[in-house]
């Protein structure tokens, strides 16, 4: 009795104290990781600062980059961000549609539908993305089919990612238990209603985090489209000015920073969405 009333009057229970301790440990860890990141960044900046350091009789020079070139060309390269994002967004939308269709096709009991789905996935996964991109830019014109740069790029990236992402939707559909379908059937729902109202909403929610990852990967793979020379996105612009003025180092560093910033922002948004999905109404 006394033990109980004592612990109730005490400001903090044993469990609370342990929990506080754990929270403090986690905060401490995060702070140290942040600090280390900062130091790593500083080292990287220093490596490209062109400083000379003397240790004893030896003098080392860090990498010297041309600041003037960067100032001159940053606007031109940054101008490619819009194209990079546009291509990525359009491609991921196409990829989602194709991936979903391919995943549903895999569930079909109609042989031709099943075959189309598996054929598509096999063909795309069996050939390089780089080849597929060139196919749309360079091979199709030989047949008299000339696509605009952005359109061809979106088609190639969308088709490619769609084939890989069909696995995500397949897993999403598989994650919906048999009991869910049976409950819907028992209520009298048709197979179509069951798919639309019960299975798909759950499968799509399951697929949101991995699709986010694919989108982030896509923003970087979109750089491959530059190789064709028709789409003026980040990478194309960086290589253009870099080669012309023999400042590839500076140009590529700038492009790298832009890609990195884009993925950082997208990862942040992705994280927010994921935590929102994992609590709340699941």
Partner 1 sequence: MESKTAFESIPIVKVSNLDKYFGRLHVLKNISIEVPERQVVCLIGRSGSGKSTLLRCINFLEEPSHGVIEVDGVRVAGGEKGREHRQLVHDVRLKTGMVFQEFNLFPHMTVLENVIEGPVIVKGMDRKRAVDLAEQNLDSVGLLFKKDEYPMRLSGGQKQRVAIARALTMEPRVMLFDEPTSALDPELIGEVLNVMKKVALEGMTMIVVTHEMGFAREVADRVIVMAEGELIEDNKPEEIFNNPKDPRTEALIVRYRTGGN
Q: How many CB atoms lie within 10 A of CB 237?
A: 24
C-beta of 184 vs 266, nearer to partner 1: 184
CB of 196 to partner 1, least distance (A): 9
205 touches partner 1 by CB under 8 A: yes
Query: Smaller CB distance to partner 1: residue 72 or 202?
Result: 202
How far lies 222's CA from each of 13, 183, 250, in Å? 55, 43, 21
202 is a contact residue toward partner 1 (CB under 8 A): yes
> Which residues from 76-135 bind partner 1, rule CB under 8 A?
none
Number of residues that bind partner 1 (CB under 8 A): 20
Would residue 56 be called left, alpha or beta, if left means φ above 0 and alpha means ψ between -120 and 50 degrees?
Answer: left
Whether 157 and 84 have beta carbons less than 8 Å apart is answered as: no
User: Of 75 and 281, which CB lies nearer to partner 1 in the complex structure?
Assistant: 281
- Alpha-carbon span 83 to 150, nearest angstrom: 8
Could you say whether residue 282 binds partner 1 (CB under 8 A)?
yes
| Of the residues 23, 174, 187, 269, which one makes contact with partner 1 according to CB under 8 A | 187
> What are the helix (H) ranges across the chain?
2-9, 14-47, 67-78, 81-107, 111-125, 129-134, 140-142, 149-174, 178-186, 191-193, 200-221, 234-244, 248-278
Rounded CA-CA distance 153/156 in Å is 5
Exactly one of 171, 189, 208, 249 binds partner 1 (CB under 8 A); that residue is 189
Span of 47-55, 102-110, 199-207, 238-246 interacting with partner 1 by CB under 8 A: 199-207
Based on the shown chain and the rule CB under 8 A, indicate whether residue 245 belongs to the binding site for partner 1: no
How many Cα neighbours within 13 Å face the side chain of 233? 26
- Contact letters (x/-) for partner 1, 148-177, by CB under 8 A? -----------------------------x
CA angle 242, 248, 250 (to 5 degrees): 100
Min separation Cβ 171 and partner 1, Å:
17
Q: Which is nearer to partner 1, 16 or 182 (CB)?
A: 182
Q: How far is the CB of 276 from partner 1 (least distance, A)?
A: 14
Pick the closer one to partner 1 by CB: 118 or 202.
202
Select from 143-151, 159-167, 184-192, 246-254 the region that touches partner 1 (CB under 8 A). 184-192
Let me know: does 72 contact 87? Beta carbons within 8 Å. no
Confirm or reject binding of residue 198 to partner 1 (CB under 8 A): yes
Cβ atoms of 218 and 88 within 8 Å: the answer is yes
- Out of 38, 201, 256, 275, the only residue in the binding site for partner 1 (CB under 8 A) is 201
Q: Which residues contact 117 (CB under 8 A, 6 or more apart)?
A: 101, 102, 103, 104, 105, 106, 108, 166
Nearer to partner 1, 112 or 201 (CB): 201
- Of the pair 174, 244, the CB lying nearest partner 1 is at 174
Q: Which residues of the shown chain bind partner 1 in the complex (CB under 8 A)?
A: 177, 179-180, 182-190, 193, 197-198, 201-202, 205, 281-282
């Amino acid at each position: 009795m006394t033990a109980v009333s004592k612990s109730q009057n005490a400001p903090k229970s044993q469990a609370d104290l342990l929990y506080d301790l754990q929270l403090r440990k986690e905060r401490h860890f995060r702070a140290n990781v942040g600090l280390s990141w900062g130091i790593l960044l500083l080292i990287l900046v220093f490596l490209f600062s062109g400083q000379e350091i003397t240790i004893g009789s030896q003098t080392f020079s860090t990498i010297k980059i041309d600041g003037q070139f960067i100032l001159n060309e940053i606007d031109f390269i940054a101008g490619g961000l819009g194209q990079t994002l546009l291509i990525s967004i359009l491609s991921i939308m196409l990829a989602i549609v194709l991936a979903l269709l391919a995943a549903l096709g895999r569930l079909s009991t109609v042989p031709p539908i099943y075959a189309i789905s598996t054929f598509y996935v096999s063909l795309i996964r069996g050939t390089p993305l780089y080849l597929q991109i060139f196919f749309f830019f360079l091979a199709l014109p030989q047949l008299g089919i000339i696509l605009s740069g952005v359109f061809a790029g979106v088609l190639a990236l969308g088709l490619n990612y769609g084939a890989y992402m069909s696995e995500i939707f397949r897993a999403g559909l598989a994650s919906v238990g048999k009991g869910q379908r049976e409950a819907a059937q028992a209520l009298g729902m048709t197979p179509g209603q069951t798919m639309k109202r019960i299975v798909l909403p759950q499968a799509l929610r399951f697929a949101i985090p991995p699709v986010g990852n694919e989108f982030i990967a896509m923003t970087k793979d979109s750089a491959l489209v530059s190789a064709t020379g028709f789409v003026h996105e980040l990478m194309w612009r960086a290589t253009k000015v870099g080669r012309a003025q023999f400042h590839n180092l500076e140009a590529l560093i700038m492009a790298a920073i832009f890609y990195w910033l884009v993925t950082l922002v997208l990862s942040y948004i992705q994280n927010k969405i994921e935590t929102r999905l994992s609590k709340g109404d699941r």
